[in-house]
Chains A and B, each alone.
Chain A
Amino acid sequence: MQRFAELLDSLAFQPARNGKLRLMTAYMRSAPDPDRGYALAALTGALDLPNAKPALLREFGVQRLGETLFVLSYDYVGDLAETLALIWEPADQAGVGHNRPPPSLAEVVETLRQASKRETPQLLERWLDGLDATGRWALLKLLTGALRVGVSARLAKQAIADLGQRDIAAVEEVWHTLEPPYQALFDWLEDRAPRPDPGAAPVFRPVMLATALEDADIGGLDPAAYRAEWKWDGIRVQLVAGPGHRRIFSRAADEATSAFPDIVEAMDFSAVLDGELLVAHRADDGALQVAPFNDLQQRLNRKQTTAKLMQDHPAHVRLYDALLIDGEDLRALPFDERRARLEAWHAARPRPRLDLSPMVPFTSWDELARLRTGTREASIEGLMLKRGDSPYVAGRPKGPWFKWKRAALTVECVLMYAQRGHGKRSSFYSDYTFGCWRRSDGGTPELVPVGKAYFGFTDEELMKLDKWVRDHTTSRFGPVREVAPGLVLEIAFDSVHRSSRHKSGVAMRFPRVHRIRWDKPAAEADALATLERMIAG
């Protein structure tokens, strides 16, 4: 427990992705079994432990300190679990670890799983006595919900893949067949046993991804070798169904099944299919109309969904590819062959909420380029190009699949606030909030923030931006500086939507700094109305 606690503690203070990976692999390399397996479960959100209620923690605190001192302490710290971790001292006054060794993570997890609700407080008290402040904090975080150390399930899996020097795709493919504490996984990663066999289990298969295509590179490709289809602006998903199981995974192998019962209902098949999750409405004439990405967002990140939400934002999956159909693995077949199988499968029995992403016929790149520029449909991000002979391989191989995004939209904004970055960028003002002009109620022009960007510039430009921010600061709030309106940033973005959460009423997707207009007076930057005219849909 103590070592796991130290890991969580350092993760919480480590902002960089690579730093977090390094910390996790170092822990996984040296921590004993089955502790590290339970640690992995905790980090990936796969650990299901009974919750300790805030009232219990409060009661413990008041018992130890009395009402006055506990309230003063809690007021100062602001976090109940942390307050209790800091004020706790062993009841017997003998000091940490003198009477009993601190519990291991495995002991905590395995005991709690079998304990009754009534036993939990006593167990907790005993363990708190054996741990130091960091250990107590970690234990209480485990029992009060989210860890909040800035680690996604995928990042933890990446750390495990690094440990065994395997590709993360190989880990993801077996992940859903395994249970904490993942002994079989570690045995494989450390070469003591063969890879666990996913077999016919309803598991995630690693997804095939495309590389970005630059306009300049397309001339070198043979148009006859490639097939084209639209790149839909939704969430890439994998549908896995068979007798007794129906599951929906994101391309990062996170399970999204429970948020989309309307899709699950349609999954009465035995296959593994690749497609795009969208929100789509059926028009009066029967045509399907794909809603903006914003509508899909309403349905994401929910454990449970409501009937109203499903009615207002009906989900739909547009299929791209088939990995398995009726037990037959199609991944080694060429794309053309898989597509033919998918079409035949779909034609044999069309299902509600599922359709095929149509192919876009073309004979030359020029023709395709015109098609790409011609469409302004909000739900289309651009085109996908796939070699007709490409097998379905995990990861992002360069060559067989390309994404050819529509040219980005741009708008000229004025820099308003700058914030210091993290890690290497901690001495630089590198996160920028920018705004567009509008008329205030009094009729004078005012800037309203429309977005935030922290990439799109070179290191050299960052130096200059940082200096500009320091030289034009008008006020400071902690790590944030407000600057005089004087620098125009040309911002590129994929699309812009209405948003009630922002003061400006709009929200951009993927805003980044496209160019820094050192030359341009701030007054000549764009008006909010210009941005509003670009709203998709």
Chain B
Amino acid sequence: MSSSPSPAEPRSWLTTTSKGLYCVPGGFFIDPAWPVEKAVVTHGHGDHARPGHGAVLATPETVEIIKVRLGADTIGDLQAVRYDETTRIGEVDVRLVPAGHILGSAQIVLDWRGARIVVSGDFKRRADATCPPFEPVPCDVFVTEATFALPVFRHPPDMQEIARLLGSLRTFPDRCHLVGVYALGKCQRVIRLLRAAGYDQRIWLHGGLMAMCDVYKRAGIDLGDIAAVSEAGPVRRNDLFQHQTFKGAIVLCPPSALGDRWTRRFPEPLPVAASGWMRVRARARQRGVELPLVISDHADWDELVQTVRDIRPGMVWVTHGREDALVHQAQAMGIAAEALHLAGREEEGS
């Protein structure tokens, strides 16, 4: 690699470092895994937005999420920039474009001396009532995620999965359906899907999910009647497995709470998980769920391939996930492709 960056060589001006992707002529990192001076952040999930940076640029929704999740004082300067506004950082024009992943999620479009790289962050292509849809942007290099980049991952229609949850409530009307969801994004999406399917009863939430729901509500997303489980009153010893309020109720909680002692207040809890991983039986069984729902905020195999086809970039860089399959597929489509190996990416909540 040459020492001075050149627009003709994308790797020379967007480089991989031990801290993450670094834009040389802009002097900033994208979703760095460690504290840095300047960062541009695609969205608010923990493995993308971390504390300790000197300055962060992100969408207003992501800035709000960062404030609630990490606290405003963990980051020096928080700069909110709306979708499609262009900001110059160093020599680079930076523009945030909807990624369709969660509220506030953005792709980062980098323009430098006539060359363009788009970093997708995490994204999906199907409709989501909690965020604007992914916009394909023509570019020289498309940096894509690969969480579900295997042909075995084909997420079925969301409403079909929600119908399975409602069907289970009909078969087991006395059992409390406990749904494991990631606090940011999946939780609110599942609530919206339930509402869209006509479920208008109160949806109960583990206390750890409330703060993010408030952020979504402030962003104008209607979640209907939701309440923290603690509002149903304290748990007495006699309530073990028979708190009548939760008979046949839907309760959302973080995946880690599914087998936790916290579940003992619910009548005959039926563990459900909503995640793209639920597509593979062994993964679902590992988590001990009785009803696996395939609902994901990441692009599935078909969406990944379709996105590469839609954008037809000069080159594809593949990050975090199953890089091999997507690199193979892009090459088979006649597009140069390679894997970027970035540290610090997690599977949780996918």
A-side residues, CB < 8 A to B, are 10, 12-15, 19, 22-23, 26, 65-66, 68-69, 72-73, 76-79, 82-83, 86-87, 89, 132-133, 420, 422-424, 426-427, 459, 478-479
Would A12 and B281 be within 8 Å (CB), given that A22-B171, A69-B329, A83-B152 are in contact?
yes
B328 interface hit (Cβ, 8 Å):
yes
Quote the shortest CB–CB distance from A105 to chain B (angstroms).
19
Quote the shortest CB–CB distance from A426 to chain B (angstroms).
5
Would A479 and B288 be within 8 Å (CB), given that A26-B171, A69-B329 are in contact?
yes
Q: State which residues 293-330 of B face A: CB under 8 Å.
A: 322, 324-325, 328-329
B217 interface hit (Cβ, 8 Å):
no
In the complex, the answer to whether B288 meets A422 with C-beta atoms within 8 Å is yes
Proximity bits, B317-346, A CB within 8 Å = 1, else 0: 000001011001100100000000000000
Quote the shortest CB–CB distance from A360 to chain B (angstroms).
46
Q: Complex Cα distance A86/B290, Å?
A: 20
In the complex, the answer to whether A424 meets B268 with C-beta atoms within 8 Å is yes
Cross-interface CB contact of B150 among A12, A19, A73, cutoff 8 Å: A73
In the complex, the answer to whether A420 meets B172 with C-beta atoms within 8 Å is no
In the complex, the answer to whether B172 meets A19 with C-beta atoms within 8 Å is yes
Q: Given A76-B280, A426-B259, A426-B263, 17 other A-B contacts at CB below 8 A?
A: A10-B168, A13-B285, A13-B289, A66-B332, A68-B325, A69-B150, A69-B151, A69-B328, A72-B322, A72-B324, A73-B150, A73-B151, A76-B152, A86-B279, A86-B280, A87-B152, A89-B154
Q: Complex Cα distance A66/B168, Å?
A: 38
Residues in B whose Cβ lies below 8 Å from that of A76: 150, 152, 280, 322
Quote the shortest CB–CB distance from B91 to chain A (angstroms).
40
Cross-interface CB contact of B269 among A10, A73, A133, A426, cutoff 8 Å: A426
User: Can you identify 26 A-B contacts, CB atoms within 8 angstroms?
Assistant: A10-B291, A13-B290, A19-B290, A22-B171, A26-B171, A69-B325, A69-B328, A69-B329, A72-B322, A72-B328, A73-B150, A73-B151, A73-B152, A76-B152, A77-B280, A86-B152, A87-B152, A89-B154, A132-B156, A422-B288, A423-B290, A426-B263, A426-B288, A427-B260, A427-B261, A459-B240
Residues in B whose Cβ lies below 8 Å from that of A79: 281-282
In the complex, the answer to whether B284 meets A13 with C-beta atoms within 8 Å is yes
Q: Complex Cα distance A79/B281, Å?
A: 9
Residues in B whose Cβ lies below 8 Å from that of A132: 156
Q: Complex Cα distance A26/B171, Å?
A: 8
When C-beta atoms are compared, the residue in chain A nearest to B292 turns out to be A13
Residues in A whose Cβ lies below 8 Å from that of B171: 22-23, 26
Would A133 and B290 be within 8 Å (CB), given that A22-B171, A72-B322, A427-B264 are in contact?
no
Quote the shortest CB–CB distance from A102 to chain B (angstroms).
14
Quote the shortest CB–CB distance from A515 to chain B (angstroms).
23
Q: Complex Cα distance A82/B151, Å?
A: 12
Q: Complex Cα distance A420/B282, Å?
A: 18
In the complex, the answer to whether A15 meets B152 with C-beta atoms within 8 Å is no
Quote the shortest CB–CB distance from A67 to chain B (angstroms).
10
In the complex, the answer to whether B280 meets A14 with C-beta atoms within 8 Å is no
Q: Complex Cα distance A12/B280, Å?
A: 13
Residues in A whose Cβ lies below 8 Å from that of B284: 13
Give the 5 A-B residue pairs with the shortest CB-CB distance, closest first: A86-B152, A87-B151, A73-B152, A13-B290, A72-B325
Residues in B whose Cβ lies below 8 Å from that of A23: 171
Cross-interface CB contact of B263 among A26, A78, A87, A427, cutoff 8 Å: A427
Q: Complex Cα distance A10/B261, Å?
A: 25
Q: State which residues 125-161 of B face A: CB under 8 Å.
A: 150-154, 156
B44 interface hit (Cβ, 8 Å):
no
Q: Complex Cα distance A427/B253, Å?
A: 14
In the complex, the answer to whether A427 meets B289 with C-beta atoms within 8 Å is no
Q: Complex Cα distance A426/B156, Å?
A: 28
Q: Complex Cα distance A78/B262, Å?
A: 34
Residues in B whose Cβ lies below 8 Å from that of A133: 154, 156, 279
Would A423 and B268 be within 8 Å (CB), given that A78-B282, A479-B288 are in contact?
yes
